[in-house]
Structure 1
Amino acid sequence: MDFQIIQPNKNISLFVKNIWVFEGGEKNLKTNLPFFADGYPGLMFQQTENGLTVNPHKKKMPVLFLYGQTIRPIELEITGYYQLIVFQLYPFVLKNIFNITPQSINDDCYDLLQLQTIDVADLNQSLLSQPDINQKIENISALLYQLFLSKKQNLDFKIKHIIEIIIVAKGKINIRNIAKKTNLNIRTLERRFLNETGLPAKQFAKIIQFQSSLEQVIAKDFIKLTDIVYENGFADQSHFIKIFKAYTGKTPKAFTKK
């Protein structure tokens, strides 16, 4: 499999973190790509020989779709050749730009053909017929920028700032302290955060903390498991294992043996 991380154009970098490109597969060969909680929803374009199925839901996916917060671990099942382009979106995007209630697509997706404001069917066809991957990315970027321009007045910049604080701290931060720092009542912060992102602020911080530890596990950047535990702010080893298993379905030991 070929995998690339591409930086978004400056005009969409306010709401797009990264662009991922996955390409690979062989005729009749099955590929399974695991995805875990990372705190970011996304937009995915998929071009495959035999379609893309999300397991364990056994759900066939459309060509161009949004996905919400991935809380439970999933696998993308593909047979044959494939090309996936994923725009990793900041968590405030679904409500403000797409007018979707974020909680409604946690562990789920939204077919962009349902959008009334833009002719997505034409975009689907142009993406499928376009051989140049960079042009595909430009076309999707243009769609996102067009939507952003029409909705940018809806952005809750206070919640955007709080999201940034949590990400920079790698989730190792007290939400009450953030409320004080941003001059918000804790209940107001929690209500607005849930409304904008689809997750409680504490759960979002926990996912960011988990994702930081997952990256360390994958990179094998540790000598003992306790190195990961304390570097990522977990109370103790049993707490870390519990969180890790909740988001991957495996203990760290089992995960590293896969």
Structure 2
Amino acid sequence: MQVQNIIPDQSIALFVKNIMVFENNDDVETVIPFFADGYPGLMFHQTERGLTIQPYGKKMPIIFLYGQTIKPITIEVDGPFKIVIFQFYPFVLRAFWEINPEDINDGCYDLNEKKEIDELIKEILSSFNVQEKIAVISRLLIGYFEQKRKKLDFSIRGVIQCIIDKKGTVPIHEIAKNENLHIRTLERRFLRETGIPAKQFAKIVQFQTSLIQLTTHDSGSINEIVYANGFSDQSHFIRVFKAFTGLTPNTFGKR
């Protein structure tokens, strides 16, 4: 399987964090694990036998939105495939698609309910390569942004970026003070726009930073990862890690 992480074009970088592409030309079964990362997204897949989300056993439409992934999941594909995922900064679902983000936590939203999607799917399927498919989806998102930008909460976008920059270790009350917001106002608006509390988003960012270090062996021992990422001690780190992966760090590292 080939995996690409593509930096979004500046025209969409305000609301798209990353574009992931998964491709396989072999007629084999592929299982792709996903863990909490704080970012909802849009997924398009081109497969011969469909794509299933486990542990839910759910066959997915060719294009769909997904909300916050909190519990670990896997994507299962039988045969050759192309998957394109646009990861969103988590402040756009309500504004762009008029859905309550909390309603699709650990869930999905079928974009086929939108009339413009039929034409989009035809255009994506007829696109010659992945770059063209990305360009087609990008044009759709730019259109949404131009129509809905006044509905976006840019203060919450700033809070999201601050949490990311500080790798989830900054106290939320400190961010509220810097943004000139009352802590309860920030928490209410953050939950409304993202579907999860600000503290939970920070914990997910903190977890993801440690997960990357653990899987790339950037930081040596678990103790070094623990203290580099602001966990109070090793048991705290193990508890958070297991909550998001279902495994201890040691067990995960041996997979």
The TM tier, using the shorter chain, reads over 0.9
Letter of the structure 2 residue corresponding to residue 3 of structure 1: V
Structural mapping, 1:138-157, within 5 Å: 138-157=135-154
Which whole-Å CA distance do the structure 1 matches of 2:71 and 2:154 have between them? 28
From 210, 233, 236, the equivalent of 2:233 is: 236
Shift of 1:126: 2.1
> Residue 195 of structure 1 aligns with which residue?
192
Answer yes or no: is the 8 Å Cα contact 1:34–1:74 preserved in 2: yes
TM-align CA RMSD: 0.9
Shift of 1:25: 4.9
From 232, 250, 253, the equivalent of 2:250 is: 253
Structural mapping, 1:42-191, within 5 Å: 42-115=41-114, 118-191=115-188
Which whole-Å CA distance do the structure 2 matches of 1:212 and 1:25 have between them? 31
Answer yes or no: is the 8 Å Cα contact 1:25–1:31 preserved in 2: no
Q: Per-residue displacement from partner, 1:139-192 (whole Å, max 9, x unpaired)?
A: 000000001110001111111111111000000010111111111111111100
Answer yes or no: is the 8 Å Cα contact 1:25–1:79 preserved in 2: no
Which whole-Å CA distance do the structure 1 matches of 2:204 and 2:149 have between them? 27
Shift of 1:8: 1.4
> Is the partner of 1:4 in helix, strand or coil?
strand
Residues 1:32 and 2:31 aligned together: yes
Which whole-Å CA distance do the structure 1 matches of 2:124 and 2:117 have between them? 10
Residues 1:209 and 2:206 aligned together: yes
> Is the partner of 1:47 in helix, strand or coil?
strand
Shift of 1:223: 2.4
Letter of the structure 2 residue corresponding to residue 222 of structure 1: S
Unpaired segments ≥5 residues, structure 2: none
Letter of the structure 2 residue corresponding to residue 166 of structure 1: I
Q: Give structure 1 regions of 4+ aligned residues with deviation exceeding 3 angstroms.
A: none
> Residue 9 of structure 1 aligns with which residue?
9
Shift of 1:131: 2.6
Shift of 1:119: 1.5
Letter of the structure 2 residue corresponding to residue 9 of structure 1: D
Q: Per-residue displacement from partner, 1:188-226 (whole Å, max 9, x unpaired)?
A: 111000001000000000000000000000101232211
Which whole-Å CA distance do the structure 2 matches of 1:222 and 1:253 have between them? 14
Letter of the structure 2 residue corresponding to residue 172 of structure 1: T
Unpaired segments ≥5 residues, structure 1: none
* TM-score of the superposed pair, with normalisation by structure 1: 0.97
Which whole-Å CA distance do the structure 1 matches of 2:218 and 2:135 have between them? 35
